[in-house]
Amino acid sequence: MQEIRDALTGRKRVVERGRVLPAEKTLSVEDALRAFLFGGYLHAARAMAHPDAAASHSAPISPEEFRAGTLRGSEGFFCVGQNQAGRWWLLDAEGRPFFCRGVHGVRAAAVPVDEAVGGRAASAGPYAPDEHPSTRLRKWGFNALGVGGDGAAQADGFAFIASVDFCRMSGVIQASGVRLPDVFAPEWPARAAARAFEVCAPEVMNRALIGWVADDLPGWAPPAARGGARPSLLQSCLSLEPNFAAYHAAWEFVLALHGGRIDALARAWGVAVRNKEVVREWTRVEQAIATRGYGRDDAQWSREFARRYFTGTAAAIRAADPHHLVLGCRFGGRVDESVRAECVYPAVDVALLDMSGVPALAAGATGPVLAGDFGWVDAGAVDAPARGRGGRRLTTVEWMLRQGRAALERMARHPDVVGYIWRQWLDDPGEQPPFARGLVHVNGTEAREHTELLTAFNARAESLRRAPVRPTKESSVFSG
């Protein structure tokens, strides 16, 4: 029976000192496809003698190798700086270059050993040793943990990012698509300082901590300029209850732009706003105001809200922890340029931006960026398969992975990008491979459609990083 199973899986069995060892698999059609898509990546990954071979062993960099005034952070902790060639680098606590390769939401798999991996002995613990998150992360060449996990791998020496979660305080604005602290409230600075001290103080001397995000997945609402189906940030604030300071600030803001008259506001927006209750009723039924005139006001309001948010959270974090970097917030998706424009230095040391927000090389220097929520399933890369070698039309999976490889290379060569964070560890319920977004499926098995390409990339990420900068006209790192 075992010989039959071996034949079906394409494996040969070799006996060595009484142990049965699987021999190297023959090249299947699937492997041939991967070799075609990934090129030299797979060879580099298989050549690693140990999973930790992907880790950086670079020598520390002296401060003289960086441009004057660009170093941010404290000595002995993670820092960031721009070298003389114009490329930004994270530096670990020892001063060595560190290209961040992380994953958000790392946690132990959700199924026991005997269900997930074919009945292996449960005596090994709740999860088999080779499936512990830290083992898998090292095997795949990752060196950091994003936010949103359960700490399953943090004790194993990985660098990590932590969240203060200001949105867990009282007085938070909760509306359709909006989850933000009321940054216009007089008590906001004191509340933020208390929250930061509570969360940051215990980690103030932790040399494995890369830096802080203010919030993990706050809600900034869709911008009005895109004509979204949901109310934007300004409309949501105009519809709050009067006990919110943001409600009064929003109405004062828009009326000041239109001579203090609501009829002038209605004409500028091109909608029939007779009184404040009209806007509140539209928001209650999720009828979005999406005119061009309103969009201009919404962009100004969103930028002012973002300015107060990023400067306020950064001040609170730095007062509680002067050593670690400030990374903005984890947006979790696209946000309007009016918000991203305030997620910059000096409020933010390294901007954690959704990959679609990473600027093109041709856009010029923007400061250090950590490409967050990276992935290729949701990037629009699966919508328009092209033709491959010989004119054969690529399948959707082939196109998706080809786009993914190209995006990884562009990201690694981008002078402002200091690393990336893969979007999520586990698939969401209902997702189906190969278009699920996690690195681990809901049954605990490895998502090889993602991990093979990522392992190969991670093995040579720093060599790609050191390659000469090649400016392009791409709009983002994920550009067709």
Judged by average pLDDT, the poorest of 98-102, 129-133, 432-436 is 129-133
Taking phi first (over 0 means left), then psi (-120 to 50 degrees means alpha), and beta for anything else, what does residue 426 get? Answer: beta
pLDDT band per the 50, 70, 90 thresholds, residue 244: very high
pLDDT at residue 362, rounded to an integer: 46
Mean pLDDT of 73-102: 95
Q: Please return the burial class of 358, using the count of CB atoms within 10 Å of its CB with bins 0-12, 13-18 and 19+.
A: buried
pLDDT at residue 393, rounded to an integer: 80
pLDDT at residue 51, rounded to an integer: 35
Q: For residue 162, which phi and psi values (nearest 5 degrees)? A: -125, 155
Contact (Cβ atoms closer than 8 angstroms) between residue 164 and residue 200: yes
Residue 227 has pLDDT above 50, yes or no: yes
- The CA R_g of the chain, rounded to the nearest whole Å, is 25
Q: Please return the burial class of 401, using the count of CB atoms within 10 Å of its CB with bins 0-12, 13-18 and 19+.
A: buried
Residue with tokens 């398969």: 385
In tens, the pLDDT along 322-374 reads: 999 999 999 988 888 999 999 999 999 999 998 765 665 544 457 999 999 99
pLDDT at residue 42, rounded to an integer: 40
Mean pLDDT of 180-202: 98
Domains of the chain: 2-222+311-465 (3.20.20.80)
pLDDT at residue 369, rounded to an integer: 94
Residue 21 has pLDDT above 90, yes or no: no
